[in-house]
Chain A
Amino acid sequence: MTKMPRFVIAGLMASTMLVGPAFAAGTHPVTGDALADDQTFTYRVLDEHSSVDPQVVEDVIGSEIVRDLFEGLMNQDAEGNLIPGVATGFTTNDEKNVYTFTLRPEAKWSNGDPVTAGDFVYAWKRLVNPELASPYAWFGELMSIENAAAIIAGEKPIDELGVSAIDDHTLEVRLSASLPYFPLMTTHASTFPSPQKVIEEHGDQWTRPENIVSNGAYVLTEHVPAERSVRERNQMYWDNENTIIDKVVALVINDENAALTRYFAGELDRTEVPAGQFPKLKAEYPDEAVSFPRLCNYYYTFNLSDSGPEEFKDVNVRKALSLAVDRKIITENIKAGGEPQAYTFTPGATAGFDIPDVPMMAMSQEERDAEAKRLMAEAGYGPDNPLKFDMLYNTDEAHGKIAVALGQMWKQKLGTEVTLANMEWKTFLDTRDNQDFALARGAWCGDYNEASTFLDLLTTPSGYNDGKYSNARVDELMTEAKTADDPQPLYTEVEQIIADEVPIIPIYHYAGVYMLDSDVGNWPVNNVEQNWYSRDLYKKAE
């Protein structure tokens, strides 16, 4: 509260100074839409973000803010394609294990200092520094930067990280493996530069609005934890004159229904649509209710480890349970937000991935139910000897609805006795991670737009393979895929194996379902990773 007056004045100055000169014409250069006088974009976030420090941030909400405040080597466009950011381009060697990025000289920090290759070297070393102990240090390892793993483990000094500044505007990265998609990874928040001087001066508090210095299109001007954060146009940003939105406000609203009410009251430009409400909202507000595919899956995983129930070791039982799930009811009656039904682990929206023909897809639900009953009887379960198990999910309105529906489908079709158990997120993760479950909910969003980001989960060595499914052929195929010229047939074969062995029950693939004010232009609905940048948006005049 004490800080309010300063922010208000700063905000007023910024808006009066900027809106006029930059867009005197008042129309969007590409679409030709008339621009609104007030270029403020306000959106709802579910929770307080964890941090706006690029090397520390770990949540989606925080990453969205970091993408506005900082700019990395490369950016994504509205389709998710790679476009230049601070780097104008890059070159690589034949082995694709050394990359050289050329930085644009006009890039500046918000305090006027130039953005140099040294800022990236500092940031990347910071990411893997055991002293910072970043929860995203593993991303340095994932990028395969030389010595990253050893530095994280404290076995090598930080200075041996395979990244160096040839000069102020040339950055060289040396990798421990051949990585053709390395440049894609430089759009990730963990790789954004950070201002050494400021961090050394303020320590952990450098990300507060009064201290922060950033190189993106916006600067953080206000942050009231658990209530709001405000970012405003960065005068020093190299592409400032093409930025239209002046101010972006993120409001923390825990309850999605409350958020929707506030959207209707005009307080928000964007909010999530609660499960099941999309069709009605689409009918009433056709211009505002939007739905587009996302790069995430939703599934239930059987516990196939030694601690898992004996019943699930029988593939017929697993198959019967998967067949009996009427996915149409889940996607049309419960979620109802345009989510595709899932019969494979990898979403169809994934780049280069075509959903293979798994047998189940060709069957009608009646045929599936009949087959499920037959398999269940074959496995020795029936009215006299019902299958009993617990299903675990984390506390959430939509997860609860889906679990209730699944339980009823199995009960009514197969006579199964299912006990529902919901747990708070952290308890749930811990329980699932320790294989202390029979059937558990899972969901995964791709780290990058390629099928292996999903299918790796079902390999034996994966740290995220909570069901402990293990198939030598799958492991082999996935290893082969890493170096294959065309890995798609290999992915198809993996999906076929999964469809045969049913280590998981795919339920649906995510869609982004929003109420988005029709004033908001250029929302990147085609970016399946939903990496959006406020500087690409604009507000139309009403």
Chain B
Amino acid sequence: MLRYILRRLLIAIPTLLILIIICFLLMYAAPGGPFTSERPLPPQVLANIEAKYGLNDPLPVQMWNYVVGIVTRFDFGPSFIYKDRDVNDIIAQGFPVTLTYGTISFVIATLVGVSLGVLAAIRHNTLLDYIAVGATFSAQALPNFVMAPILVIIFTWQLGWLPGGGWNGGQWQYVVMPVIALSTSYMASIARITRSSMLETLHSNFIRTAKAKGLSTRTIIRRHAMKPAMMPVVSYLGPAFVAMITGSVVIDLYFSTGGIGQSFVNSALNRDYAVMLGVTILYGTLTIIFNLLADVAYAWLDPKIRY
């Protein structure tokens, strides 16, 4: 098991290197640079700036320096646009925001989604089941950039209950709408997966046996059906967590949370290369870690898998 985890973590190294190479190539090929502006800089000023950031070095040298900086100093470089911050500062400021509401959304989506799915499975083919299926499909299809403005119109403008955006250090009023907008569609996915997996489990032989023995539905669900039914859900959760944090770009932009998704989009628009690279690497690492966690959890649930 440990060997397996180590191996998977080792894959992270070539993955991240490839990411760095892709980003550098894109940067190299992209028209415009961080210092392109409506009033073109005099060549001498531009040369001074590029020399300051080492942008006049050949591409491989830049890449090498970048990797060396990360490995030796854990330094992801300076922001080309925001002079008083480096990439580490920007991530340290924005990531906790995204992580906070991302995690809350994840927990809520999982709890509500699983409960709803189990409930729909138990009440299979009842009105409740049909409503649940219809609602989850709709929720899954509704983009969160539609939901966000509707939430703001209702809760901010009409009711005046919640602030329409911002973060304000993470006070709860500021967290509510981002969480609702982000978690709904994942909640729906989780509910769907749970429902179909639970249905399948409930029709399997060992559950029939348990029923034949006269155990109550509640006991059957809790003691026997839950664990096997959760397996597909668990393997969905890893990628879902990453997707929730990546998908938070919409939330960050609409609610102006100052989260990392906003930093990424801005850095791409501004050609703030170091920030762009830093955030991409952060997400690459997250993707690797959470895919691994999902697989490990899966193995833990399924005794038949051996490493």
Q: Do chains A and B touch in the complex (CB under 8 A)?
A: yes
Residues of chain A at the chain B interface (Cβ within 8 Å) = 1, 4, 47-48, 50-51, 53, 56, 58, 130-131, 133-135, 137-138, 141, 152-154, 204-208, 224-228, 251-255, 257-258, 261-262, 264-267, 424-431, 433, 463-464
CA distance A228 to B157 in the complex (A): 21
- Given A425-B269, A426-B31, A464-B39, A265 and B45 contact (CB-CB distance below 8 Å): no
For residue B166, which residues in chain A have a CB less than 8 angstroms away from its CB? 227-228, 251
| Contact of B52 (CB < 8 Å), options: A51, A133, A205, A225 | A133
CA distance A431 to B84 in the complex (A): 30
Contact A225 B40 (CB under 8 A): no
Binary contact track B150-170/A, C-beta < 8 Å → 1, others 0: 001100110010011111111
For residue B83, which residues in chain A have a CB less than 8 angstroms away from its CB? 50-51, 53, 56, 204, 207
Contact B84 A205 (CB under 8 A): yes
CA distance A208 to B83 in the complex (A): 10
> B93 — nearest CB in chain A belongs to which residue?
A225
Question: Which of B194-202, B227-235, B249-257 lies at the interface with chain A?
Answer: B249-257
CA distance A227 to B153 in the complex (A): 20
| Contact of A225 (CB < 8 Å), options: B41, B85, B254 | B85
Residues of chain B at the chain A interface (Cβ within 8 Å) = 30-33, 35-42, 44-45, 48-49, 51-52, 78, 81-85, 90, 93-94, 96, 149, 152-153, 156-157, 160, 163-170, 253-254, 256-258, 262-263, 266, 269-271
Contact B262 A226 (CB under 8 A): yes
- Given A135-B37, A206-B84, A261 and B269 contact (CB-CB distance below 8 Å): no
Contact B31 A427 (CB under 8 A): yes
> B31 — nearest CB in chain A belongs to which residue?
A430
Q: Smallest Cβ distance from A264 to chain B, in angstroms?
A: 5
- Given A152-B44, A267-B163, A225 and B270 contact (CB-CB distance below 8 Å): no
Contact A426 B32 (CB under 8 A): yes
CA distance A257 to B263 in the complex (A): 20
For residue B42, which residues in chain A have a CB less than 8 angstroms away from its CB? 137-138, 141, 152, 463
For residue A425, which residues in chain B have a CB less than 8 angstroms away from its CB? 32, 269
Chain B CB count within 10 A is highest, among A253, A425, A426, A464, for A426
CA distance A533 to B215 in the complex (A): 76
For residue A225, which residues in chain B have a CB less than 8 angstroms away from its CB? 82, 85, 90, 93-94, 258, 263
For residue B169, which residues in chain A have a CB less than 8 angstroms away from its CB? 1, 4, 224
Q: Smallest Cβ distance from B48 to chain A, in angstroms?
A: 4
CA distance A258 to B270 in the complex (A): 22
List 26 A–B pairs whose Cβ atoms lie within 8 Å, in order of A's numbering. A50-B82, A51-B84, A130-B44, A131-B48, A208-B84, A224-B93, A225-B94, A225-B263, A226-B94, A227-B167, A227-B257, A228-B258, A253-B165, A258-B152, A261-B149, A261-B153, A261-B156, A261-B157, A265-B164, A267-B164, A426-B31, A426-B32, A427-B31, A429-B37, A429-B38, A433-B40
Contact B266 A47 (CB under 8 A): yes
Contact A135 B35 (CB under 8 A): yes
Contact B45 A133 (CB under 8 A): yes
For residue A257, which residues in chain B have a CB less than 8 angstroms away from its CB? 149
Q: Smallest Cβ distance from B112 to chain A, in angstroms?
A: 27
Beyond contacts A225-B258, A252-B256, A266-B160: 14 other A-B pairs, Cβ-Cβ < 8 A, are: A4-B169, A130-B48, A138-B39, A141-B42, A152-B48, A153-B44, A154-B48, A224-B169, A226-B94, A254-B253, A261-B157, A262-B163, A426-B270, A464-B39
For residue B270, which residues in chain A have a CB less than 8 angstroms away from its CB? 426
Q: Smallest Cβ distance from A198 to chain B, in angstroms?
A: 12
> A206 — nearest CB in chain B belongs to which residue?
B84
Q: Smallest Cβ distance from A83 to chain B, in angstroms?
A: 27
For residue B165, which residues in chain A have a CB less than 8 angstroms away from its CB? 251, 253, 258, 262
Contact A226 B263 (CB under 8 A): yes
Contact A227 B258 (CB under 8 A): yes
Contact B256 A133 (CB under 8 A): no
For residue A253, which residues in chain B have a CB less than 8 angstroms away from its CB? 165, 256
Contact B36 A430 (CB under 8 A): yes
CA distance A138 to B44 in the complex (A): 10
For residue B30, which residues in chain A have a CB less than 8 angstroms away from its CB? 426-427
CA distance A247 to B269 in the complex (A): 31
- Given A137-B45, A429-B37, A265 and B156 contact (CB-CB distance below 8 Å): yes
Contact B258 A135 (CB under 8 A): no
For residue B253, which residues in chain A have a CB less than 8 angstroms away from its CB? 254-255
- Given A204-B84, A225-B94, A265-B157, A138 and B164 contact (CB-CB distance below 8 Å): no
CA distance A164 to B164 in the complex (A): 51
CA distance A254 to B261 in the complex (A): 13
For residue A137, which residues in chain B have a CB less than 8 angstroms away from its CB? 42, 45, 48
